[in-house]
């Protein structure tokens, strides 16, 4: 209905192969970016109370989870490799970042965030090796090995958390351009900007990879590995690359989760198998093999319960926080089943369908 594609013809392959070939989509995307990069911060400055709450409780974690979901989606959605270990890979990122920034306090934290991704990337490749021989559910189980082993390391290797009595990461204060971005004194706004920048940049990179040779070989492996081999695609390198990129994204997400969301510190428990399940359910509901789906999934799985909680409180109904939490878990499960039944390909597919309808409006097909 809002699409006006008439006259939007492509005279170059570059234009034809663009990720957003339709003008209206590009406009929408631009407005969206404007909203999150300018609108939200303005709002936060004008109404600090609600604004900071909104940033701290909604936006920052949402973006971080979305990033983790993208990571897992690259592995599970695009390459078809089931993983239950994403939580642990996030942990690797977090601990790596912690060690790095405590050993080299003067290096800008953002750099360490990215580098910590490299660490979890290496670990990911290590645990990806079995994927050559193991497929499907077997592989899923293999990734559990990673999950539990790494979790164990987080708890048992005190060096990782600098022998803190608490056994947890204690986030030190770090500044960027003289502005505190981590630690107790970092304002939500400052942290939000860092997170937004990183997530936006990495999403862009992910979409580039997916729309190019690498993305195609991933999907080829996913859809028909035999044929892929006969195209000259070597399975192990392709799969390992997927593992590497995926756990890189998870690692960065994990590091940001501790440094820019919790901002003060985190227990190893954060990176338990439940976290893995949480992220996995995001990409299931959001849509396997879809970037935008990762955002949808993160939004639904993470934000929806908060909204419900808010409603519950606001309605003044005598519901304990625990009960809400339990309901949240149940609801998440119910949603997963519901979406699998109505649309096995998740919100992303629904989004696509809706878009298609708008494009051919007023016609039904």
Determine which residue in the list 329, 353, 354, 355 makes contact with other proteins, applying CB under 8 A: 329
What is the C-alpha separation between 214 and 78, in angstroms, rounded?
Answer: 11
In the complex, minimum distance from the CB of residue 49 to other proteins, in angstroms, rounded to a whole number: 32
Q: How many residues bind other proteins (CB under 8 A)?
A: 88
Q: Which is nearer to other proteins, 63 or 142 (CB)?
A: 142
In the complex, minimum distance from the CB of residue 338 to other proteins, in angstroms, rounded to a whole number: 8
Do 69 and 286 contact (CB within 8 A), yes or no?
A: yes
Do 274 and 334 contact (CB within 8 A), yes or no?
A: no
In the complex, minimum distance from the CB of residue 43 to other proteins, in angstroms, rounded to a whole number: 29
Q: Which of 211, 202, 218, 288 lies closest to 250, judged by CA?
A: 202
Q: Which stretch binds other proteins (CB under 8 A): 99-107, 161-169, 211-219, 260-268?
A: 211-219
In the complex, minimum distance from the CB of residue 139 to other proteins, in angstroms, rounded to a whole number: 9
Q: Which stretch binds other proteins (CB under 8 A): 1-9, 43-51, 59-67, 107-115?
A: 1-9
What is the C-alpha separation between 181 and 212, in angstroms, rounded?
Answer: 35
What is the C-alpha separation between 35 and 39, in angstroms, rounded?
Answer: 4
323 binds other proteins (CB under 8 A): yes
Find the binding residues for other proteins in span 303-322 (CB under 8 A).
322
In the complex, minimum distance from the CB of residue 181 to other proteins, in angstroms, rounded to a whole number: 25
Contacts of residue 282, Cβ cutoff 8 Å, sequence gap at least 6: 65, 68, 69, 72, 294, 297, 298, 300, 301, 302
CA pseudo-torsion sign 51, 53, 57, 60: positive
344 binds other proteins (CB under 8 A): yes
Q: DSSP per residue over 280-314, as a string?
A: HHHHHHH-TT-HHHHHHHHIIIIIHHHHHHHHHHH
Find the binding residues for other proteins in span 8-27 (CB under 8 A).
8-17
What is the per-residue binding string for other proteins in 113-142, x denoting contact by CB under 8 A?
A: -----------------x--xxxxxx--xx
Do 169 and 110 contact (CB within 8 A), yes or no?
A: no
Determine which residue in the list 102, 175, 187, 229 makes contact with other proteins, applying CB under 8 A: 229
DSSP state of 180: E
Q: Which is nearer to other proteins, 12 or 166 (CB)?
A: 12
In the complex, minimum distance from the CB of residue 273 to other proteins, in angstroms, rounded to a whole number: 7
């Amino acid at each position: 209905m809002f699409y006006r594609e008439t006259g939007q013809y492509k005279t170059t392959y570059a234009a034809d192969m663009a990720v957003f070939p339709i003008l209206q989509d590009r406009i929408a995307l631009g407005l969206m970016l404007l909203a999150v990069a300018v609108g939200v911060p303005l709002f936060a400055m004008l109404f600090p109370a609600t604004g900071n709450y909104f940033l701290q409780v909604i936006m920052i974690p949402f973006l971080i989870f979305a990033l983790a979901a993208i990571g897992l989606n690259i592995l599970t959605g695009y390459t078809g490799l089931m993983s239950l270990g994403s939580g642990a890979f996030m942990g690797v990122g977090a601990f790596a970042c912690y060690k790095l920034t405590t050993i080299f306090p003067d290096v800008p934290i953002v750099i360490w965030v990215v580098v910590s991704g490299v660490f979890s990337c290496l670990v990911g490749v290590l645990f990806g090796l079995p994927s050559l021989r193991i497929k499907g559910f077997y592989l899923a189980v293999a990734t559990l090995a990673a999950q539990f082993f790494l979790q164990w390391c987080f708890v048992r290797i005190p060096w990782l958390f600098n022998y803190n009595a608490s056994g947890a990461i204690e986030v030190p204060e770090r500044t960027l351009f003289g502005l505190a971005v981590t630690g107790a004194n970092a304002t939500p706004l400052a942290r939000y900007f860092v997170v937004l920048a990183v997530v936006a940049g990495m999403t862009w990179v992910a979409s580039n990879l997916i729309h190019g040779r690498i993305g195609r070989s991933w999907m080829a492996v996913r859809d028909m590995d035999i044929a892929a081999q006969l195209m000259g695609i070597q399975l192990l390198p392709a799969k390992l690359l997927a593992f590497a990129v995926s756990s890189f994204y998870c690692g960065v997400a994990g590091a940001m989760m501790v440094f820019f969301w919790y901002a003060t510190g985190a227990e190893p428990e954060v990176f338990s198998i439940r976290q893995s399940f949480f992220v996995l359910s995001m990409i299931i509901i959001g849509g396997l093999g879809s970037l935008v789906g990762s955002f949808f999934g993160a939004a639904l799985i993470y934000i929806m319960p908060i909204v419900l909680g808010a409603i519950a409180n606001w309605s003044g109904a005598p519901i304990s926080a625990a009960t809400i939490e339990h309901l949240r878990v149940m609801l998440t499960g119910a949603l997963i089943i519901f979406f699998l039944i109505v649309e096995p390909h998740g919100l992303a597919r629904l989004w696509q369908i809706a878009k298609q309808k708008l494009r051919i409006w007023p016609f039904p097909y």
